[in-house]
Amino acid sequence: MNTAQPYQNPVIAQRADPWVYKHTDGYYYFTASVPKYDLLELRRSKTIQGLAEAEPVVVWRKHEEGPMSQLIWAPEIHFNQGKWYIYFAAAPIDYPEDGTFNHRMFAIENDSANPLEGEWTEKGQIVTAWESFALDATTFEHNGKLYYVWAQQDYDIPGNSNLYISEMENPWTLKGKYTMLSKPELDWEIIGFKVNEGPAVLKRNGKIFITYSASATDINYCMGLLSADEDSDLLDAASWSKSKQPVFRSAPENGQFGPGHNSFTRSEDDTQDVLIYHCRNYTEIVGDPLHDPNRHTRAQIFTWNEDGTPNFGIPLPDKDFVRS
């Protein structure tokens, strides 16, 4: 095993949109989209690799009908203001209308010490300034404020979803203005579908970085990067700049295609940064990519460039990959 790259991939099979959060209790907490999109499960382990063997605990199941009854997508577990929250997207029907799905964003809350135990309470829809296809929320704290970043369709902007930021009144309510951070406009953002989604936040070197995923969720899926000075007004669009090129994309030489919907964590010894993401190890997808279950959870160490920006490298091969 390459000690510089201690993780054997894939870490967890058939878990898309992987979210790993390393808590102050030393545990890595894991959740992700499951192939049937019908429930929310949590795992925890003292090591990233150990998440593969960790027993999944189902903490919430989709409703029989209504706005939380279909296509449960991209959960994230966060510890905000002393309680556990899982943010996720759900829809009332399992098919798109007018070109996009009908998701809205929701949150559930648990005040237990161990979120795999205790009760989860539904906190309702995370209401934004307008009603449309909304998904892939994440939160982060900065300078004493709690922020919410998400993907949502704007009917006046061609495409499935753009990225937005807003401050939060509490961990399930937005407040004040919202700002669009990015819309799919560069050639690598609009292949198949015009998509900016799956934001993930990384704070380092005096900057706030937000990675996101772009294009259709097939071999063209890849990651972009937004950045702002940590002391700038994060709700001012002018504070943010966008990388002109993707920062993480398919690596045919390593048998990896369509990497994205990432999260970030730290290595077990807290000395290195870890990129968590999903990827497929083949190109030929039969039918709708959303219903191909083989977006596997992967983990790899990443480094930093001289200019202070993250260097994610390329998707590493599967542990049993043989170069052709």
Note the residues at the interface with ligand AHR (CB under 6 A). 16-17, 33, 73-74, 89, 135-136, 197-198, 217, 261, 290
Is-catalytic flag, 65? no
Catalytic residue among 17, 136, 218, 292: 17
In the complex with ligand AHR, the residue whose CB is nearer, 74 or 86, is 74
The torsion defined by the Cα of 21, 161, 257 and 263, in degrees rounded to 10, comes to: -10
Catalytic residue, from 189, 197, 218, 292: name it.
197
Question: Residue 125 to residues 71, 91, 103, 196: CA-CA distances in angstroms?
Answer: 15, 11, 10, 21
Evaluate whether 222 touches 243 at the Cβ level (below 8 Å): no
C-beta of 119: minimal distance to ligand AHR in Å?
26
- H or E segment at 270? none
Q: How far is the CB of 295 from ligand AHR (least distance, A)?
A: 7
Count other Cβ atoms within 10 Å, centred on residue 118. 13
- Smaller CB distance to ligand AHR: residue 146 or 195? 195
Taking the C-alpha atoms of 38, 48, 112 and 60 in order, what is their torsion angle to the nearest 10 degrees?
0
- The distance of closest approach from Cβ of residue 223 to ligand AHR in the complex, given in angstroms and rounded to an integer, is 11
**292 included as an active-site residue:** no
In the complex, least distance from residue 67 CB atom to ligand AHR, rounded to whole angstroms:
16
* Minimum separation from the CB atom of position 23 to ligand AHR (A): 23
Which residue, 27, 39, 42, 26, is CA-closest to 77? 42
Our CB check for ligand AHR shows the closer of 125 and 309 to be: 125
Task: State residue 253 phi and psi, 5-degree precision.
Answer: -65, -20
CA quadruple 133, 312, 186, 227: dihedral, nearest 10: 80
In this complex, which beta carbon is closest to ligand AHR, that of residue 33 or of residue 256?
33
Q: Pick between residue 21 and residue 88 the one whose CB is nearest to ligand AHR.
A: 88
Q: Could you give the residue numbers annotated as active site? A: 17, 197
